[in-house]
Amino acid sequence: MKMISCIVAAVLAGIALGWMLPSLMNPEVLDQVITYVLAVMLFGVGISIGYNRRELVKIKAVGWRIILVPVAIAGGSLLGASIASMFLDMSLKEVLVVGAGFGWYSLSSVLITQLYSAELGAIAFLANVFRELMAFVLIPFLAIHIGKIVAIAPGGATTMDSTLPIIAKMTDTPTAMIAFVSGLILTTMVPFLIPLLLAIY
């Protein structure tokens, strides 16, 4: 929870800065610089992802059908998000991209702001923060009333870090392990899926 408040504080600080100095964002040079900073960050994210292949050995411990967990979570998230385009004044592409954050608000908002628009970036930030907050509430409920494995779903990509402690507390060790691997796979998907979805149309 400490992390989420730091992140919200960073965005609020940026909003205040942009509000006071609206011309700060205008220069195209800054935009270019941010793209390079983004590339450096993704290089770092890539190193973590590549390094994590060692963690994937854990899949063997739980069996290969565990792959179905992140696949179902990803498919269900995108399907759910696509329904949103029927209610909202947003294109299918836009809602899918927001849904494809799987709760990883920092990366998805940064990517979408830079690759698409500040507006969709803001929606992605809020939507994925909401998803993580909902996960904190839903995980205990689902674990008790529906089933341990189903409790992994709302956390999305966050089940390898921020929501893992709650899953571990509300379920058992094998489920926590599945949650970790599922979160790892979803985390790996996000930085690929968002640019791809934005590039497709």
Partner 1 sequence: MEIVIISLLAGCLLGASNIITEKWIGHLDKIVMAIVFVLLIAVGIGIGSNRELIGNLTLLGYKAMVIAGLSTIGSVFALWFVVLKVDFFQHHKKEEEQL
Q: Does 130 bind partner 1 (CB under 8 A)?
A: yes
Q: Which is nearer to partner 1, 29 or 63 (CB)?
A: 63
Q: Which is nearer to partner 1, 137 or 165 (CB)?
A: 137
Residues 100-129 that bind partner 1 (CB under 8 A): 106-107, 109-111, 113-115, 118-119, 121-128
Residues 133-162 that bind partner 1 (CB under 8 A): 134-135, 138, 142, 146-147, 149-150, 152-154, 156
- Residue 106's CB is within 10 A of a number of other CB atoms, namely 17
Q: Cβ of residue 145: shortest distance to partner 1, in angstroms?
A: 11
Q: Does 201 bind partner 1 (CB under 8 A)?
A: no
Residues 160-179 that bind partner 1 (CB under 8 A): 174, 178
What mask of x and - would describe binding to partner 1 in positions 51 to 90, judged by CB under 8 A?
xxx--------xx-xx-xx--xxxxxxxxxx-xx--xx-x
Q: Cβ of residue 157: shortest distance to partner 1, in angstroms?
A: 11
Residue from 150, 153, 140, 143 nearest 73 by CA: 153
Token pair, residue 179, equals 């949650």
On whether the CB atoms of residues 102 and 74 are closer than 8 A, the answer is yes
* Alpha-helical runs (H) found in the chain: 2-20, 28-51, 58-62, 68-87, 92-99, 105-115, 118-145, 164-170, 173-200
Q: Does 32 bind partner 1 (CB under 8 A)?
A: no
Among positive and negative, which fits the CA dihedral 185, 190, 195, 200?
A: positive
Q: Which is nearer to partner 1, 119 or 169 (CB)?
A: 119
The whole-angstrom separation of Cα 58 and Cα 177 is 8
Calculate helix-pair angle for 2-20, 105-115, nearest 10 degrees: 30
Instruction: Select the residue interacting with partner 1 from 93, 140, 168, 195 (CB under 8 A).
Output: 195
On whether the CB atoms of residues 142 and 149 are closer than 8 A, the answer is no
Q: Does 27 bind partner 1 (CB under 8 A)?
A: no
Q: Does 47 bind partner 1 (CB under 8 A)?
A: yes
